[in-house]
């Protein structure tokens, strides 16, 4: 009986392994089919807006956003009919295929932003790469220009090696390892975040209240938010009040 149960268990494990392998193959095949839709130069079609209202957020990526400019939609035609481009995004792989379809026409002195164009399909793509770290992408008509509000960070940036931040410390909690969890917000900003710090770095923080933290960093520029500040900086000093 025991041997029979062992054989049965082995059979179940084998079937599960085969099932997972088949699913992975199918997933890979599906991804390849989706990406291959960009191989034909006639696949991507834009639908222009009747009245241009400037840039519109089209897709939120990981570390970048994609905007359309004076467009209502971007369609990809294929065997499955017309599909909205953002529904096919597979990260850098999809974007790389899209860039390959266009011609690099301009490179800007903002850190290396690049404009790609395809006049035949009436399409332009601006790939931001600014000194401030903006990696956004803009898609528009073939005559789209680098507008004043393009490639701008939506968030305030830290640009200095040493800087101060005025925090409202809401709660102090001791961690099991002796470090301190600080729940705090930037005064007049409203964002509330909990971070873990060394007790030795915040000796003057005895209770909740307003404190000015001085930081130093070698990673500027970076986004001015609590989590990023503590991740990319070291605490130099803390004083009560502003």
Instruction: Give residue-wise pLDDT tens across range 62-116.
Output: 778 889 999 988 887 765 567 787 776 655 556 677 777 788 999 998 889 999 9
pLDDT on residue 82? 73
What are the strands, taking DSSP E only, across 12-91?
Answer: 44-48, 55-60, 65-69, 71-78, 81-84
**Shared domain check, 97 and 50:** yes
**Shared domain check, 174 and 104:** no
Q: Kind and range of the H or E element at 228?
A: helix 226-232
Strand 209-216 with 162-174, pairing: antiparallel
- Cα–Cα distances (Å) from 206 to 143, 157, 170, in that order, read 59, 29, 11
Whole-number Å distance between alpha carbons of 200 and 44: 57
- Cα–Cα distances (Å) from 221 to 97, 120, 133, 197, 235, in that order, read 30, 39, 7, 22, 17
**Shared domain check, 114 and 171:** no
Share of the chain above pLDDT 90, in %: 37
pLDDT on residue 224? 84
Q: Catalogue the long-range contacts made by 194-203 (C-beta closer than 8 Å, 24 or more residues apart).
A: 195/226, 195/227, 195/230, 197/230, 197/235, 201/235, 201/238, 202/235, 202/238, 203/238
**Shared domain check, 133 and 69:** yes
Closest CA to 169 of 216, 206, 199: 206
pTM over 0.75: no
Residue 147 placed within a domain: no
**Shared domain check, 164 and 133:** no
The C-alpha angle with vertex 183 and arms to 196 and 166, in degrees rounded to 5, equals 100
Number of structural domains in the chain: 2
pLDDT in tens, 105-145: 999 988 899 999 987 778 899 999 888 778 899 999 989 99
Strand pairing partners for 115?
A: 106, 126
**Shared domain check, 178 and 128:** no
Residue 136 placed within a domain: yes
Identify the residue whose tokens are 């956004």: 136
**Shared domain check, 185 and 114:** no
The dihedral sign for the CA sequence 67, 68, 69, 72: negative
Among 140, 170, 204, identify where a domain stops. 140
Domain limits for position 66:
44-140
Residue 95 placed within a domain: yes
Residue 34 placed within a domain: no
* Reported confidence tier of residue 188, pLDDT bands at 50, 70, 90: confident
Whole-number Å distance between alpha carbons of 128 and 135: 5
Residue 175 placed within a domain: yes
**Shared domain check, 233 and 177:** yes
Closest CA to 30 of 102, 78, 68, 98: 78
pLDDT in tens, 6-57: 555 555 555 565 555 555 554 444 434 444 444 444 477 788 888 888 889 8
Residue 37 placed within a domain: no
pLDDT on residue 37? 46
* Reported confidence tier of residue 202, pLDDT bands at 50, 70, 90: very high
Residue 150 placed within a domain: no
Residue 186 placed within a domain: yes
Q: Directed axis angle between helix 2-36 and helix 92-100, to 10°?
A: 30
**Shared domain check, 135 and 49:** yes
**Shared domain check, 50 and 126:** yes
pLDDT on residue 13? 54
Q: Say how many Å lie between the first and final Cα of the chain, rounded.
A: 77
């Amino acid at each position: 009986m025991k041997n029979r149960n062992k054989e049965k268990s082995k059979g179940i494990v084998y079937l599960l392994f085969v099932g997972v392998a088949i699913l992975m193959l199918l997933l890979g095949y599906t991804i390849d089919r989706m990406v291959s839709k960009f191989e034909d130069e006639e696949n991507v079609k834009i639908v222009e807006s009747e009245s241009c209202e400037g840039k519109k957020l089209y897709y939120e990526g990981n570390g970048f956003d994609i905007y359309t400019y004076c467009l209502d939609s971007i369609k990809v035609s294929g065997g499955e009919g017309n599909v909205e481009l953002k529904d096919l995004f597979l990260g850098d792989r999809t974007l790389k295929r899209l860039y390959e379809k266009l011609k690099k026409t301009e490179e800007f002195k903002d850190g290396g932003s690049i404009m790609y164009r395809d006049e035949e399909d009436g399409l332009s793509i601006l790939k931001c790469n600014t000194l401030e770290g903006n990696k956004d992408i803009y898609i528009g008509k073939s005559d789209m220009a680098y507008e004043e509000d393009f490639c701008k960070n939506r968030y305030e940036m830290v640009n200095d090696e040493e800087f101060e931040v005025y925090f409202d410390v809401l709660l102090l909690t001791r961690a099991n390892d002796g470090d301190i969890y600080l729940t705090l917000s930037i005064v007049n900003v409203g964002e509330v975040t909990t971070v873990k710090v060394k007790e030795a770095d915040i000796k003057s923080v005895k209770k909740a209240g307003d404190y000015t933290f001085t930081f130093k960093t070698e990673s500027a520029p970076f986004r001015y938010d609590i989590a990023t500040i503590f991740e990319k900086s070291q605490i130099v000093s803390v004083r009560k009040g502003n």
